[in-house]
Chain A
């Protein structure tokens, strides 16, 4: 809209081009190529922040090219206030991942960097795709690179973690494919996400579709009963893999809920809100509780992710402006903060070769810079006012409060527990009594590591103190989503065959299969 320059295609092509170039270079050069490609991508993404028009209610920077003719599938891209922060975050995190892997990855560096770059294309693609099939292609294209990332460069139990990650996410996403196909025939023979958002669907069909979407997105988030792949994947993945997982991949689940489930299936979303809120609160408390018990730093942060992502899904499914805006902001916050924490774990692992809290005690004395940054990230993660997470969690809780006071009370427990496990961790790792035998070896952060972490610190305080630039860009798109939901509320009356509003749940159970339309 604002510009005819194909910004988004450039964003997609740059990393891929980097991956191709890497094929022709030597191992050490691969790092520089990867860094160049990711930084170039970041510099293409950054102008979008200013070019983006916060007032506009439609998609911006759109591209629309026919890809497959029968059925009509388009190479259709666009950005709105929801995807903009996520795209920027992805572009921002990736150079840090390359930097974090600079010395940590010693075997087949070329392959590693190429995989990272392919991942970047796929991840950006997920956030900017406006055609459902294109979205699905990007969504699935991530599977094999991530599988390799965990399986080839991971820890000792990597094979198990890699295949577990792969199968969990694949099961969820194949059901998504069926749902996409069903929507095609109901939504007027189109895969256009915006057109499908406008459609109204019978309430019983919505329930089925919601469950299929849920299978894909809830696994990715991960929501409570489907989270078991996450700790395994995080622990075994290399640092960059953990950061990508936590910062970006998990957001795809919540992004999916926000982009598809809410606007396309508003009735089902409304009916299932109690379930979603309950699962979110269970995730918040259970994740925090599990984090308390961990002795492995990566596992601790992994479970804290489960807890924090619970806040995001909670904010989404209370279905009001504050909640959803908070959720979007919290997606970015979690990406920054948890990514930073994983980077910190990676840095200490390179020095002590252990992720156990017990092996990394009392770092304040030998590594003061590191300790200071770790404290900042921990405080951000627990939502201290002045840091980014406070703003997001606060908005989510306000939204929840409007929906149910009891739910808010339970969700707030998560913040308290977060303070407990994070401060306890900080107490031991930073201020504990050091074990004398390994401390002399520890060197403080070098310039590269410092450069990896400092941008994140700046972001934490920027969002924490001046959230308005973020919220204002998100605002219009969230308003659209909510408007789209309330407009589609008329669906049951428009389709009397669906059996009215009251017996919806019963209806959905009795409806064995979806029928193709006879148009």
Chain B
């Protein structure tokens, strides 16, 4: 067969997204400035199309279909992440519509880059070959580097882009080095072949261990796990808020998805080794993320550290999966990560959407102090922020609690009750800084001397984003069952 019809069909959503991205970049110069919104609507249309295809794909193709001689697969696991990514990307686009106008970033390519990053992420979640996954990672990262620096008038944005680029390329190099070592050992970059080679050659081989560590380091950069988190605060603070939200949610989810597949399908034989490694990383990550977040005065920086801490929580599920004990053999651990990251997406996105609305005499207000007295002036927005903060702290009946519940349930099942206890103690630490935002909004009187107190610029698109986010946080907090069973089913295709 010269033309791989079936292969292309399997890859159809990726192709559509990439084509839409190219189309937008091509159309941008010929679109009048007043019509730039059309490009955003074009990308939303592409997303909706992909959602339909991805949703239908599994029913038609059933189980797990590999394409391009086992480079990518279409399975329920990939579908789960793709649907999440479509949702997040759609919300990002809606959030960007008013945000870019307010920040005077008039660049049609912006939407193109979002879609390019998305296509990279989609390749990451469906790739079963290390080089394919690497390709997806790079496509995502390169787009994000550019998007970080899109706010060209702000030095901080440019600085963040440069920092992100340097550190990101460095981590990609490490990842690639790990991949090359595994290739040297297995003679292939397919995850299946690597798993087979590890099974036959044993797990004691130093080469394999070194490669595993290098790959773990490479992914830890992407996940923003300590000690490879240094880029996060600067980049989150410097990037336009809509991009920050996109990074904090979508990039993290895609990285986790690829990371889980590589370590479970490819390096599953080394479970006992990497579960110890990630045990240490997860504890350090959630401790440092939560403790350092306390002293932040900039809310985007605070949420950056909070996102580091949340990566630590999600990694607990991974450690539990690595232990592989209990009735489910660790599958609940993997499913708990999927649940956690989905719920985390809603609350983090909601929080960033509120931040993106905050205007202080025309400039973006991003200090925690800027929220002072918000409850008096805009009670509904303050209440939404309260819900998001409570959810991030993991207080029921919000989604954040459900996410933590499943992660810790997996940990306890794996015999790690002490780890759950430590992690939860640091959840209390996190509650301190989340509640400080609530305190500033509700319990501080606004400074009477300031002429133009910070206020929220509302718009229909942002209201839609906030409504989606708060609905996710509350509905999944009260009725998590559909999500849980979806995750539990999807994770089964991961072998």
Contact = CB atoms under 8 A, between A and B. Distances in A.
A178 B412 contact: yes
Interface in B316-343: 325-327
B326 A516 contact: yes
Contact of A177 (B375, B390, B424, B485): B424
Nearest to B389: A144
Contacts of B443: 151-152, 158-159, 162
A390 interface: no
A108 B441 CA distance: 14
B365 to A, nearest CB: 21
B390 to A, nearest CB: 5
B449 to A, nearest CB: 21
Interface in A492-519: 512-516, 518-519
Contacts of B428: 167, 170-171, 174
A141 B417 contact: no
Contacts of B424: 174-175, 177-178
Contacts of B395: 140-141, 143-144
Interface stretch (B185-193, B229-237, B432-440): B432-440
B425 interface: yes
Specify which of A147, A171, A516 lies most central, judged by the most chain B CB atoms within 10 Å of its CB.
A516
Interface stretch (A66-74, A81-89, A243-251, A290-298): A66-74
Contacts of A167: 428, 431-432
A70 B412 contact: no
Contact of A170 (B375, B420, B431): B431
Contacts of B436: 163
A136 B396 contact: yes
Contact of A140 (B326, B396, B417, B442): B396
Interface in B376-433: 376, 379, 386, 390, 395-397, 401, 405, 408-409, 412-418, 420-421, 424-425, 427-428, 431-432
B276 to A, nearest CB: 15
Interface stretch (A52-60, A180-188, A373-381, A420-428): A180-188
Contact of A68 (B327, B376, B390, B480): B480
Interface residues of A, number: 42
* Chain A interface main SS type: helix
Contact of B405 (A108, A133, A152, A182): A133
B412 A513 contact: no
Interface in A268-303: none
Contacts of A356: none
Contacts, number: 107
A214 interface: no
A108 B327 CA distance: 52
A188 to B, nearest CB: 12
Contact of B439 (A133, A140, A162, A174): A162
Contacts of A144: 386, 390, 395, 438
B473 to A, nearest CB: 13
Contacts of B390: 144
A163 B415 contact: no
Contacts of A171: 425, 428
Contacts of B484: 68-70
B488 interface: yes
Contacts of B325: 516, 518
B420 A181 contact: yes
Instruction: Output the residue of B424, B427, B480 with the most chain A CB within 10 A.
Output: B424
B417 A178 contact: yes
Interface string B37-55: 0000000000000000000
A148 B438 CA distance: 9
A151 B481 contact: no
B415 A513 contact: yes
A178 B420 contact: yes
Q: Which of B325, B413, B418 has the most CB of A within 10 A?
A: B413
B408 A177 contact: yes
A174 B484 CA distance: 22
A212 B420 CA distance: 12
B409 A513 contact: no
Nearest to B442: A152
B425 A70 contact: no
Which of A140, A162, A170 lies at the interface centre, i.e. has the most chain B CB atoms within 10 A of its CB?
A170
B437 to A, nearest CB: 12
Interface string A1-33: 000000000000000000000000000000000
A366 interface: no
B481 A69 contact: yes
Contacts of A518: 325
Given A178-B408, A516-B325, A141 B397 contact: yes
B441 to A, nearest CB: 10
A163 B326 contact: no
Contacts of B414: 516
Nearest to B380: A23
A137 interface: yes
B418 A163 contact: no
Given A170-B431, A514-B415, A178 B421 contact: yes
B442 A514 contact: no
A111 interface: yes
Interface in B249-286: none
Contacts of B379: 111
Interface in A410-450: none
Contacts of B386: 144
Contacts of B488: 70
Nearest to A143: B395
B442 A148 contact: yes
A229 interface: no
Given A181-B409, A516-B414, A174 B425 contact: yes
A133 B408 CA distance: 13
Contacts of A143: 395
A224 interface: no
Contact of B412 (A108, A141, A185): A185
Contacts of A513: 415-418
A158 B438 CA distance: 14
B485 A181 contact: no
Contacts of A133: 405
Contacts of B420: 178, 181
A166 interface: yes
B412 A151 contact: no
Given A159-B439, A166-B435, A516-B326, 15 more contacts: A69-B485, A133-B405, A137-B397, A137-B401, A140-B401, A144-B395, A147-B438, A158-B443, A167-B428, A167-B431, A171-B428, A174-B425, A178-B412, A178-B417, A181-B408
23 contacts: A68-B480, A68-B484, A70-B485, A111-B379, A140-B396, A141-B396, A148-B442, A151-B439, A152-B375, A163-B436, A166-B431, A167-B428, A167-B432, A175-B425, A178-B421, A181-B408, A182-B412, A185-B413, A512-B418, A514-B417, A516-B413, A516-B414, A516-B415
The 9 closest A-B pairs by CB, nearest first: A174-B424, A137-B396, A181-B412, A516-B415, A151-B443, A514-B417, A515-B415, A170-B428, A140-B396
Interface of A: 67-71, 108, 111, 133, 136-137, 140-141, 143-144, 147-148, 151-152, 158-159, 162-163, 166-167, 170-171, 174-175, 177-178, 181-182, 184-185, 212, 512-516, 518-519
Interface of B: 325-327, 375-376, 379, 386, 390, 395-397, 401, 405, 408-409, 412-418, 420-421, 424-425, 427-428, 431-432, 435-436, 438-439, 442-443, 480-481, 484-485, 488
